[in-house]
Amino acid sequence: MKQDYRSQGGAINLEEGIKPNSYFKAHASELINDVVENQRTMIITQNGEAKVILQDIHSYEQMQESQNSILIRWPVSSI
């Protein structure tokens, strides 16, 4: 069974959504197209550690709006 991590832009399939930096370098255009078309989020690793998130701009903007909405409702001074 495939595991996934729920994110603002959709699920990160742990078998397909995590790629090493070397794979990203060789397939950047293909990965970017997949992320944009499917509003997916991918994790890029370096030396076996997660280093970068690749996310489409629409999902990123939605995430920023959600965070701003939370900050407006609960100002830092009240936490």
Range picked from 6-15, 44-53, 66-75 for highest mean pLDDT? 44-53
Predicted confidence (pLDDT) at residue 2 exceeds the cutoff of 50: no
Q: Where are the domains of the chain?
A: 4-78
4-78 folds as YefM-like fold (3.40.1620)
Per the model's pLDDT, the better-predicted residue between 2 and 10 turns out to be 10
User: How many separate helices (H) and strands (E) can be counted in the chain?
Assistant: 2, 5
Q: Which residues contact 13 (CB under 8 A, 6 or more apart)?
A: 2, 3, 4
Higher pLDDT, 52 or 74: 52
33 vs 40, higher pLDDT: 33
Strands 41-46 and 18-20, how do they pair? parallel
Give the pLDDT of residue 46: 96
E strand spans, 1-79: 4-7, 10-13, 18-20, 41-46, 49-55
